[in-house]
Amino acid sequence: MKKIIGSRPRGATLADVGLAANVSPMTVSKVLRKTGRISEETQERVLEAAVKLGYVPNQLAGSLGSATSNIVCILIPSASDSVYSEILSSISRTLRPLELRTFVGESNFDPEIEYEQVRSFLSIRPAGLILSGGVQRLAKTDDILEKHGADTVQIWDGDRQTATANIGPSHEMAGRMMAEHFVELGLKNVAYIGSELSKDLCAARRAEAFEHTARQHGLKFTAITSESAPRQAIGGTLLTERMLEDQSDIEGVHYLNDAMAIGGIRAMYQRGLVAADHMQVTGFNGTSLATSVRTRLTTIDMSYTHIGEAAANAVISLAAGQPVSAVQVEDCKFVQGNTSGKRN
C-alpha cells in the first residue's frame, strides 16, 4: 500500500525570528539587511534565532503579493546527462498551463553546491521544489528543508524514500535485470565499467545489484571504475582499453550508461572485436536508441516523459494542499539490441 503524505508547515517568518529573539520584526529586518543602529548583543541574538529556525530571507517579497512565488525550482546533478533533458521538458510542459515557471540549477554531484542551491531556491519562496535523488546530501541541507517546511519531490530514485514524493526507477532492479541477462546467455566471466560511483549513489546501487546477482549465480566478476573519467563515450573508451589490456578473457560488460557503452564498443572495434560476436555489451538509460543506426545497444529504457509529468503533478498537488503518493516506481524496460545475444 502506498504511503500518503500531506503538506508540511510553512517556513519561519520575520515575526517568528523576532519572537524567538525578543525583538520586533522591524529590528530583525534591519539586522538581516545590516541597516540601522542595532547593538551587537541584539544582532547576535537575532542571527542565532534566524539560524536556529532555518529562516531564509524572501528575496521576492517586494514583488510578490503572496507567501510563495510562481516558480518551481529544480536541481539536477549534471546538465550534461541527457536523461534530464526530457524530464525537464516534460516538467515544464506540465506546469506551463498553470502559469508555473521553472528555474533549474546544477549541483555537479557536489553536496556543498547542492546546499547552496537549495538555500537560494528557498529564498524565493518557490511554489515547488524538485531535487534529484541518489546523491550525497549534507545534514544541513536536510535541516534547512525541514525547518523551512518545504515539500520536496525527488526524481530518479525509486529505491529510497527521502522526500515528500519520490519518483523514479528502481536501480537495484535494473542491476539485477542486466546480470540475469548475462546469466541467461551462459556467460561465466563478466565486468562492470563506470565512473564517479562515490557521488552517484543510484549508479553505485545499480552496480552493486549487478555484481551481487552475477556472483550469486557463480559468475566471475571484475569492476573497472574511475572517480575522474568522464561519464561519456570518451570515459567508456578509456576504461574499456584498460580492461582489454588486463582482462582478455571477459565475456560481457555492463556499462554505467549508454554513452560509456558506445565508447566501449568503439575501443573494441579498434582492436578488431565486434560486440556480441566477441563480447556481450549492455548499457543503461536508453539514450542511444533514438540515434542508433546499425549498432543497436542492449540497454534498459524507461519513460522520462512520464517521470517529468509525475513530478510536476506531485508539485501541483502539494501546492494545493493535496496528499501525494510517497513512492512512485517507474517501470524499467529491457531492450534487446544487437550488442548482446546468443551466438550462432
Per-residue pLDDT at 1: 41
Range with the lowest mean pLDDT among 43-57, 64-78, 93-107?
Answer: 64-78
Is residue 63 very low, low, confident or very high in pLDDT (cuts 50, 70, 90)? very low
SS3 146: helix
Encode pLDDT of 5-56 as tens digits: 455 566 788 899 999 999 998 999 889 888 888 999 999 999 999 999 988 8
Domain ranges across the chain = 1-55, 171-302
Per-residue pLDDT at 291: 86
Tally of helices (H runs) and strands (E runs) in the chain: 11, 14
Pairing of strands 128-132, 299-301: unpaired
Global confidence as pTM: 0.83
Per-residue pLDDT at 3: 47
Phi first, then psi, for residue 302 (nearest 5°) are: -160, 170
How far is it, in rounded angstroms, from Cα 134 to Cα 42?
A: 41
Q: What is the CATH number of domain 1-55?
A: 1.10.260.40
Cβ atoms 262, 234 nearer than 8 A: no
Per-residue pLDDT at 7: 52
How far is it, in rounded angstroms, from Cα 260 to Cα 207?
A: 14
Which residues fall within 8 angstroms of residue 40, CB to CB, at 6 or more apart?
A: none
What is the average pLDDT value for the chain, to the nearest integer? 91
Per-residue pLDDT at 84: 95
The percent of residues above 70 in pLDDT, for the chain, comes to: 94
Cβ atoms 163, 325 nearer than 8 A: no
Encode pLDDT of 287-324 as tens digits: 999 888 889 999 999 999 999 999 999 999 999 899 99
If we measure between CA atoms, which residue out of 21, 132, 130, 27 comes closest to residue 77?
132
**Looking at domain 171-302, does it have CATH number 3.40.190.10?**
no
How far is it, in rounded angstroms, from Cα 108 to Cα 99?
A: 29
Per-residue pLDDT at 247: 80
Encode pLDDT of 219-251 as tens digits: 999 999 999 999 999 999 999 999 999 887 999
Encode pLDDT of 140-162 as tens digits: 999 999 998 889 999 999 999 88
Rounded to 10 degrees, the C-alpha dihedral 216/217/222/224 comes to: -80
How far is it, in rounded angstroms, from Cα 217 to Cα 213?
A: 6
Per-residue pLDDT at 213: 98
